[in-house]
Chains A and B, each alone.
Chain A
Amino acid sequence: MSERYDAIVVGAGPAGSAAALTMAQNNISVLLLERGQYPGSKNMYGGNIYSLPTAQIIPAFWEKAPWERKIVTEEIWFLNRDSAVKAGFTGLRFGKAPYNKFSALRPKFDSWFANEAVRAGAILRCNALAIDLIWDKIGLVAKKVDGIILDSGEEIRADVVVLAEGALAFLAQKAGLRKPLMAHSYTHYVKQVFGLPREKLESRFNLEKDEGTAIGMVGFATAGMIGKGGLWTNKETIGISTGGYLSQMVTKGLSPLHLLNRLTSHPLIKRLLEDAELLEYKSHMVPKGGYQKIPALIDHGIMVCGDAAMMISGRRGTDLAMLSGKAAGESVAEAHAKGSYTKDILQTYENKINHSFFLQDIRNGKASKLYYEHHPDSDYLLTKLINELAYKFFSVELKSNTELMQDMKEIVINLQPMDKTLKDLYHGIFNWGVF
Chain B
Amino acid sequence: MDNDLQRKNEENPLNFVKIVPDDQPHIWILNDNLCLTECENKPCTYVCPSRVYYWEDQSIKILHTRCIECGACIWGCPYENINWNYPRGGYGICYQY
Residues B4 and A107 in contact, CB atoms below 8 Å apart: no
Chain B contacts for A151, CB-based, 8 A: 88-89
Residues A258 and B75 in contact, CB atoms below 8 Å apart: no
Among B1-32, those with CB < 8 Å from A are: 3-4, 7-8, 11, 13-14, 16-17, 20
Alpha-carbon gap, A41 to B85, bound state (A): 17
A246 part of interface (Cβ distance < 8 Å): yes
* Contact A126-B90, Cβ < 8 Å, known A168-B74, A190-B49, A281-B16: yes
Point out which of A150, A246, A253 has the most chain B C-beta atoms below 10 A from its C-beta. Answer: A246
Alpha-carbon gap, A280 to B41, bound state (A): 29
Chain B contacts for A427, CB-based, 8 A: none
**Nearest-CB distance from A148 to chain B (Å)?**
12
Measured CB to CB, the nearest residue on chain B to A168 is: B71
Residues A280 and B4 in contact, CB atoms below 8 Å apart: no
Residues A250 and B93 in contact, CB atoms below 8 Å apart: no
Partner of A188, one of B16, B47, B69, B94: B47
Residues B89 and A129 in contact, CB atoms below 8 Å apart: yes
Alpha-carbon gap, A190 to B20, bound state (A): 20
Residues B75 and A107 in contact, CB atoms below 8 Å apart: no
Chain B contacts for A29, CB-based, 8 A: none
Residues B89 and A183 in contact, CB atoms below 8 Å apart: no
Measured CB to CB, the nearest residue on chain B to A35 is: B89
Measured CB to CB, the nearest residue on chain A to B94 is: A41
Tell me how many residues of B have a C-beta within 8 Å of chain A.
38
**Nearest-CB distance from A41 to chain B (Å)?**
5
A283 part of interface (Cβ distance < 8 Å): yes
Beta-carbon contacts of B59-97 to A below 8 Å, as 1s and 0s?
Answer: 000000000111110111010000001111110111111
Alpha-carbon gap, A182 to B69, bound state (A): 18
**Nearest-CB distance from A12 to chain B (Å)?**
12
Residues A258 and B90 in contact, CB atoms below 8 Å apart: no
Among A226-253, those with CB < 8 Å from B are: 237, 239, 246, 249-250, 253
Residues A36 and B49 in contact, CB atoms below 8 Å apart: no
Residues A37 and B94 in contact, CB atoms below 8 Å apart: yes
Residues B76 and A249 in contact, CB atoms below 8 Å apart: yes
A282 part of interface (Cβ distance < 8 Å): yes
A42 part of interface (Cβ distance < 8 Å): yes
Residues B95 and A261 in contact, CB atoms below 8 Å apart: no
Residues B97 and A246 in contact, CB atoms below 8 Å apart: no
**Nearest-CB distance from B50 to chain A (Å)?**
7
Alpha-carbon gap, A168 to B67, bound state (A): 15
Residues B94 and A253 in contact, CB atoms below 8 Å apart: no
A411 part of interface (Cβ distance < 8 Å): no
B54 part of interface (Cβ distance < 8 Å): no
Residues A106 and B95 in contact, CB atoms below 8 Å apart: yes
A285 part of interface (Cβ distance < 8 Å): yes
Chain B contacts for A192, CB-based, 8 A: 16
Chain A contacts for B86, CB-based, 8 A: 35, 129, 131, 168, 170
Residues B95 and A246 in contact, CB atoms below 8 Å apart: no
B55 part of interface (Cβ distance < 8 Å): no
Beta-carbon contacts of B33-69 to A below 8 Å, as 1s and 0s?
Answer: 0000000010100110111000000000000000011
Residues A250 and B95 in contact, CB atoms below 8 Å apart: no
Partner of B90, one of A37, A168, A185: A37
Residues A280 and B96 in contact, CB atoms below 8 Å apart: yes
Residues B75 and A40 in contact, CB atoms below 8 Å apart: no
Chain A contacts for B50, CB-based, 8 A: 257, 281, 283
A265 part of interface (Cβ distance < 8 Å): yes
A269 part of interface (Cβ distance < 8 Å): no
Alpha-carbon gap, A37 to B89, bound state (A): 8
Measured CB to CB, the nearest residue on chain B to A151 is: B88
* Contact A42-B93, Cβ < 8 Å, known A190-B49, A255-B8, A256-B47: yes
A105 part of interface (Cβ distance < 8 Å): yes
A279 part of interface (Cβ distance < 8 Å): yes
Chain B contacts for A150, CB-based, 8 A: 89
* Contact A280-B16, Cβ < 8 Å, known A250-B43, A254-B46, A257-B11: yes
Residues A246 and B4 in contact, CB atoms below 8 Å apart: no
Measured CB to CB, the nearest residue on chain B to A265 is: B4
Chain A contacts for B96, CB-based, 8 A: 107, 279-280
Point out which of A35, A43, A150 has the most chain B C-beta atoms below 10 A from its C-beta. Answer: A35
Chain B contacts for A182, CB-based, 8 A: 75
13 A-B pairs with CB atoms under 8 Å apart are A36-B93, A42-B95, A44-B95, A129-B89, A168-B71, A181-B75, A193-B97, A249-B47, A250-B76, A253-B43, A279-B97, A281-B68, A283-B70
Q: Which 10 A-B pairs have the closest CB atoms?
A: A127-B90, A129-B89, A283-B49, A283-B70, A281-B16, A193-B97, A127-B89, A255-B46, A250-B43, A183-B75
